[in-house]
Amino acid sequence: MAEMTVSRLWLMRAAFVALCIFVMFLHLLPLDTVPRTWAGPDIIMALAFAWALRRPDYVPAITVALVMLLGDLLLQRPPGLLALLVLLGTENLKTRARALREAPFLTEWSAVALVMIAIALGNRLVLSILVVPQAAFSLGFLQMGMTILCYPFVVAFTQFVMGVRKIAPGDVDLVRRGA
Amino acid sequence: MAKDRSNGEDYTGPLRRLLMGVLLLCLLAIFLVWRIDSPRVERFRAQVTDALVPNLEWAMAPVTGFVNLIRDFQSYQRLSEQNRELRSELRQMQAWKEAALQLEQENARLLDLNNVRLDPRLTYITGVVLADSGSPFRQSVLLNVGARDGIMDGWATMDGIGLVGRISGVGKNTARVILLTDTTSRIPATVQPSGQVAMISGDNTAAPPVEFLENPDLVRPGDRVISSGDGGVFPAGLLIGQIAADPSGRLRVRLAADYERLEFLRVLRHHGAEPIADPSQIVKPVQVNEASDVSEAPDG
Q: How close does chain A come to B147, measured CA to CA in Å? A: 19
Q: How close does chain B come to A27, measured CA to CA in Å? A: 4
| Residue B125 β-bridge partners | B267
pTM, two decimals, is 0.76
The beta-strand segments (E) located in chain B are 124-132, 140-143, 156-158, 163-170, 175-179, 186-192, 196-201, 210-211, 224-227, 239-245, 251-255, 264-268
Residues of chain B contacting A172 with CB distance shorter than 8 Å: 3-4, 7
The verdict on a CB contact (< 8 Å) between B262 and A132 is: no
φ/ψ of B212, rounded to 5, equals: 60, 40
The verdict on a CB contact (< 8 Å) between B136 and A135 is: yes
What sections of chain A are H helices per DSSP? 2-28, 43-54, 61-74, 81-101, 105-129, 137-156, 172-178
First and final C-alpha spacing in chain B? 107
Task: Count residue pairs from A and B with Cβ separation < 8 A.
Answer: 148
Residues of chain B contacting A29 with CB distance shorter than 8 Å: 60, 63-64, 67, 131-132
Residue of B nearest to A73 (CA): B45
- Which candidate, B139, B148, B257, B254, places its Cα nearest to that of B208? B254
- In this predicted model, what pLDDT tens digit does every residue of A134-154 receive, in sequence order? 777 888 889 999 999 999 999
Residues 6+ apart with CB under 8 A from B157: B143, B163, B164, B165, B166, B167, B177, B265, B266, B267, B268
Could you say which of B3, B10, B56 has the minimum Cβ distance to residue A172? Answer: B3
Question: d(Cα B83, Cα B76) in Å, to the nearest integer?
Answer: 10
The verdict on a CB contact (< 8 Å) between A79 and B31 is: yes
Question: d(Cα B29, Cα B259) in Å, to the nearest integer?
Answer: 37
Residue type, B84: R
The verdict on a CB contact (< 8 Å) between A70 and B45 is: no
The predicted pLDDT at position B1 comes to: 39
The verdict on a CB contact (< 8 Å) between A135 and B183 is: yes
- Which candidate, B269, B276, B274, places its Cα nearest to that of B120? B269
Question: d(Cα B210, Cα B186) in Å, to the nearest integer?
Answer: 10
DSSP-assigned states of every residue in A108-140: HHHHHHHHHHHHHHHHHHHHHHTT-----HHHH
> Average pLDDT, stretch A145-169?
87
The verdict on a CB contact (< 8 Å) between B131 and A40 is: no
The predicted pLDDT at position A65 comes to: 94
The verdict on a CB contact (< 8 Å) between A30 and B131 is: yes
The predicted pLDDT at position B195 comes to: 87
Residue of B nearest to A94 (CA): B11
The predicted pLDDT at position B272 comes to: 65
Residues of chain A contacting B8 with CB distance shorter than 8 Å: 98
Question: d(Cα B242, Cα B207) in Å, to the nearest integer?
Answer: 10
- In this predicted model, what pLDDT tens digit does every residue of A64-111 receive, in sequence order? 999 999 999 998 889 999 999 999 999 999 988 888 888 889 999 999
The verdict on a CB contact (< 8 Å) between A87 and B30 is: no
Grouping H, G, I as helix, E, B as strand and the rest as coil, residue B156 is strand
The predicted pLDDT at position B300 comes to: 41
Residue of B nearest to A99 (CA): B8
Residues 6+ apart with CB under 8 A from B168: B140, B153, B154, B176, B177, B178
Interface test with B, best of A26, A31, A34, A127 (most B CBs within 10 A): A34
> Average pLDDT, stretch A7-12?
90
Q: How close does chain B come to A16, measured CA to CA in Å? A: 18
Question: d(Cα A156, Cα A165) in Å, to the nearest integer?
Answer: 10
Pairing of strands B175-179, B140-143: antiparallel
The verdict on a CB contact (< 8 Å) between A31 and B52 is: no
| Residue B63 β-bridge partners | none
Residues of chain B contacting A140 with CB distance shorter than 8 Å: 137
First and final C-alpha spacing in chain A? 14
Residue A164 buriedness (CB in 10 A; 0-12 / 13-18 / 19+): buried
Pairing of strands B251-255, B239-245: antiparallel
Residues of chain B contacting A84 with CB distance shorter than 8 Å: 24, 27-28, 31
The predicted pLDDT at position B117 comes to: 63
Q: How close does chain A come to B85, measured CA to CA in Å? A: 24
Question: d(Cα B137, Cα B35) in Å, to the nearest integer?
Answer: 18
Residue of A nearest to B55 (CA): A25
Residues of chain B contacting A87 with CB distance shorter than 8 Å: 23-24, 27
pLDDT per residue of chain B (300 residues) written in tens, 0 to 9: 344 444 444 555 788 888 889 999 999 999 999 999 888 898 899 999 898 888 888 888 888 888 888 888 877 777 888 888 999 999 889 888 888 888 888 888 887 777 766 565 668 889 999 888 888 888 899 999 999 988 988 889 988 788 999 999 899 999 999 999 998 889 999 998 888 999 999 988 889 999 898 888 888 888 899 998 887 777 888 889 999 998 888 899 999 888 888 888 989 887 766 666 777 777 777 766 654 455 444 444
Residues of chain A contacting B59 with CB distance shorter than 8 Å: 25
